[in-house]
Structure 1
């Protein structure tokens, strides 16, 4: 009986070891980037577009809608007049949030500065969650809780799932099918 268990364990280790060696250089990073991007890139790009100010440089002068979404009590206190809101810190926070919604999903998608972009996106999600809970006064059912029977709370359950591919990208990197890998190879060949 022990021989059968040892043989089965050995076969298991060889088979899955071979699969792991074949997939290791490219699969996890690529799949994490594509899963994150297919679920959230368009969502965040659309959200960022609602924050643009007027004209071709609207990305750098967010609209009052951006302030209302990111720092609602500040926008309300200013009577929804952007000119009445101090750049430091509120304007800077709104500008950074708007730029992050545009830039970070694209960096993750193409695999450029992937680990930093994923880390920055985790910070963005944390700030977004704080704003949703404290400034938009969402209810407990929207926030959710860990290890409950409800599997689809809009904040805790969904955002924990958003974090998984980002954590994978931070720890494993984007894989060889990424701009990061191409740059590493190119810079490595330049130094020779």
Structure 2
């Protein structure tokens, strides 16, 4: 056996063993925890800026919610929510506000994870469109692919946000998730 084939064999065995040990739980858990550690409070705090007054404020978004999510509509209505049509604008703002509360928590606990990750990618796409189209961010903030700048607030950061979500869609949330426990509860092991 040559040195190269011995090294290749060792490499295959070592990383095959590592993959076998970590596959069921590590990737899903780490993707959920990394995404949540970076973005859970970012989105929850953002959602809190959108709720109306009182105990049902979650279902009555503030003018701040309209200004953040559909700025031209809020401006056209003179920042008076009573002048904004519920269909479609109120529904859009309510859905966006609820999504900021619900989706990060679903990702963290691993419940309906694949659907939550798909919805979150859609949310990030809409958020990016609104930021670029209506909030007047400059080209430097938007960024470019394969450029020399590594910290644009839109393209660079949000592409990194997408990676754990894509991993969750493809690989699932892992065995340490509510999804896994619910699946086991629905299908008790026979043996």
Q: Normalising TM by the smaller chain, what interval?
A: over 0.9
Q: What's the counterpart of residue 151 of structure 1?
A: 150
2:61 aligned counterpart, secondary structure: coil
Quote the offset at 1:190 in angstroms. 9.3
Q: What's the counterpart of residue 42 of structure 2?
A: 43
Q: Which runs of 4+ in 1 moved over 3 A?
A: none
Q: What's the counterpart of residue 106 of structure 1?
A: 105
Structure 2 CA distance for aligned equivalents of residues 133 and 28 of structure 1? 32
Q: What's the counterpart of residue 188 of structure 2?
A: 189
> Residues 78-97 of structure 1: matches in 2 within 5 Å?
78-97=77-96
1:174 and 2:173 equivalent? yes
Structure 1 residues without counterparts, runs of 5 or longer:
none
2:98 aligned counterpart, secondary structure: helix
Equivalenced residues, count: 191
2:187 aligned counterpart, secondary structure: helix
Q: What's the counterpart of residue 31 of structure 1?
A: 30
Q: What's the counterpart of residue 64 of structure 2?
A: 65
Q: TM-score, normalised by structure 1?
A: 0.97
Quote the offset at 1:4 in angstroms. 1.4
CA deviations 1:72-130 (Å, max 9, x no partner) are: 01000000000100111111110000000000000000000000000000000000000
2:188 aligned counterpart, secondary structure: helix
Structure 1 CA distance for aligned equivalents of residues 126 and 31 of structure 2? 22
Structure 2 CA distance for aligned equivalents of residues 57 and 186 of structure 1? 34
Quote the offset at 1:5 in angstroms. 1.0
